[in-house]
Chain A
Amino acid sequence: MNRHLLATAALMSLASCSTKQNIDPMQQVGPNPVLPKPAQGLIASVGVAKVVGWKDGQTPVVPRGFRIQAMATGLVSPREVYPLPTGDILVVETQRTGTEPVDRPKDPIRDFIMSVAHGGGGATETEGAKGGPPQRITLLRDANGDGQPEQRTVLVDHLNSAFGVAVIGNQLYVANTDAIVRYRFTPGQTQITAPPVKVIDLPGGLIDHHWTKSMTASPDGSKLYVGVGSNSNIQERGPEAETNRAAIWEVDPKTGSFRIFASGLRNPNGLTFYPASNTLWTVVNERDELGPNLVPDYMTSVRDGAFYGWPYSYYGQHVDPRVRPQRPDLVAKAIPADYALSSHVAPLGLTFYNGSNFPSGFRGGAFVGEHGSWNRTSYNGYQVVFIRFVGGKPVGKPITFVNGFLGPDLKARGRPVGVAIDRTGALIIADDVGNTVWRVSYAGRPPAA
C-alpha cells in the first residue's frame, strides 16, 4: 500500500530533479579518469531509457565501410554469444527469475525503475517474475559464413538464469546463476538431451543482486574463470551476503574445486583471455549513488590475488564513505584498474579482435558492449565501443563503434550485452531488450571464409 505512495512521491521528485553533469564522459576514460568528489544528492539521479524495440528494417549504426545485419531476431533476452570454430553460434537467452527480498521501502522503488530498463513497463521486475521465460541456449548454424543462419535449434533448455558458456574439448560448460554445469557436447551437435552434471555451486540465493556469472576457459583448458558479482551496491545487504562474491573464481573443471583468483571487483563480466596470452581481462560495473560521474566503470587485466577495492574503496584508495566498518588494511592493498570506461556505462561484454576481416588497426583491440546507464539523467553507454591495443595494452580513447541503440527520441531500441568474434572475423552482438543478435562485418573487402 504505502509502497505505491512512496513510489509515486519518489518518481515525482525524480522528474523534477536536475543534477549538474559538468564532467564530460571523455574525461573519465583511460588509465587516469577525473574523479569528482562524491555527490550524494537528496535523490540519486535516475534516467532509464524506455524500451521500444526495433522496427522492421531498423538496425544499429556502424562506421562507413562496415555492414550490420540481424543474424537472428525474435529471440527472448539474448545476453551472451559464443561462436564455435565450426561456425555455429551459441546464444544464451536468459533472464533473472524472482525478485529480491525487500529490506527497505527503497527496494521496491528501485525494482520498479529497473523493470522499466528491461522493457517491463514497470509491471514486474522481469518477465521471469511472471514465470516461465525462456532459459535456454539457442544454436545458430551459419555454415557458409554469410551471416544468415540456415538452421536455428534449441541446443539446451531449462537453464537457471545462465550467462557464461565455455566449450572445452567435448564438454559444454554453462554458468547458471547458482552453479556451473556441464553437458557432453560434440561440436556439430544441434540438440543436447543428456542431463547436466554439476561441477560446482556458485553463490545464488534469495537476493542474487548481480546474477550474471560470466565465464571463460583458460587457454590450455585446465581452468574455468567465473565472475561472481556482488549482492548489493556497496554492501548494504550486510557483509554476510557478500561471501565469496565481488570476485573472480578460478575453478578446476575436473575436481570442482575453486579459489578466489581476484577480489574487490563489484560486478565483473566479459571475462576473456587476451589472444595468445595468459592474461585474463574483465569489464567491471562499479558502484552507484555517488553522483552521475562516480564511479567510472572499467576494463582491466586481472592480476592473480589482487584486490580492486570494492566495497571499501574505488580506483585504488578512494575510500567510499558509506561502508562501515571501514577496512584501512584492505584499502591499502587496493589497486586501480587499467582503463576507465566512464561512469555508469554498464559494460557487460568484452572481446578482443583476433580475426582478419576488419582493417589491421583493429587487430588485438577490444570491443566492449555497454548496456547503458540508469544512475544519471543524461544517458551514457548504450553502444559498443572499440579500444585500440598496442603491445597488449589499451591506448587512446574508446571509439564508438556501434550505436543507434538509443533512437533520436532517446528511447531504447536495443541494448548491447555480450560481444564476440566469429570464425569469419565478424563482430557478433547480443542485444537483450532488442531481442536480436547482430553481426558486423567489414564490407571494404569480401569476408574471409
Chain B
Amino acid sequence: MFLPKTKLARSEALSGYLYIMPWILGFLLFTAIPIIASIYLAFTSYRGYGDINWIGFANFTKMFTGDDIFWQSAKVTLIYVIGFLPPGLVLGYSIALLMNRDVPGITFFRTIYYLPAILTGVAVAMMWQFVFHREFGILNSILGWFGIVRISWLNDTRWVMVAFIIMGLWGVGSGMIIYLAGLQSIPSDLYEAATIDGANPWQKLWKITIPLTTPVIFFNLVTGMIATFQIFTTAFIMTEGGPNYATYFFSVNIYHTTFRSLRLGYASAMALVLFLLILGLTSIVLYTSSRWVYYSGGVEVDA
C-alpha cells in the first residue's frame, strides 16, 4: 500500500532514507530508544544496580498517594507555568508590536531585546544572583528609590517564585522574534483598507493584527508551554530547589531522584507523568486551536 510502486520510485525513496540516515541513527540511539527504555523502567524498581524488577503501577501509586514532595514539585511547577506563560506571551507580543515600527535605530533595539535569549547557563544564573542579592543587588536598590523595603528574593519562600518569573520574562526576546516575523507577514493593504474605513489603532489591533498572528501565538504557546514545564538549570544552580522546596520544580525533583538517590524506576515514572501532562495540555491546546487560530490563505483544518 505505502511502498513506492515503480523501481525508480523505490530507488529514490531508498536514497532519501539513506540521506537522512545520520539523523535517524542519532534519533534512535539518543532519543527514541532511551525514551522507550525510560517508559519501561517507569514500571520497575530499578536502582541502577542489581535486577530490574517489574512492579506494575506501584511507582505511580506511591507518587500520587505517598509522596508529598511530588505534589510540591507539581504545585510549584504549575505556579511557575501560570505565573510566567501568560505574562510572557503578552509581553513578548507587546514588545514585538513596538519593534514592528520603522523608526531609525529599530534594528539596534531588536538586537538588544533578543540578546538575553542567546545567553544561557551558569553565567546567567550567577549574574542573577548578584542582581537579586538582598543587600547589594541592583533590583533592591532600584526598588529602594520608590521606598520599597528590601526583599530577600532568593531566600524568601514567597518571593523566590516571583524572582524566577522575572528571570523568565527577561528572556522573552526569543518569542518576540517569532512574533515579529508573523507581524511582518501581514499584508499592509489590510491596514490601508481599515484606515479608509475609519478604524482606529485599537480596532486595527484586535480585528486585523491579532487574528492574523494567531498562528505564531499558537506556536509560541505550545513551545513555551513545553519548555516552561521543564524548567531546570536556573533552579538547580541558584537555589537547589529551596528554600523549603519552594523552587523544587519537576525536573529538579527528577534530577535528584535519579542522580542522588539513584531510584531510576521511580524517576522514570515521574518523567512519564510529566510527559503525559505536557502531552495532555498540548493536545487540549491543539484541539481548541481550530476555533481561534486563523491561517490566512490556507486550507481550513478540521479539528
| Co-complex (A, B) | no
Binding site for B on A (CB under 8 A): none
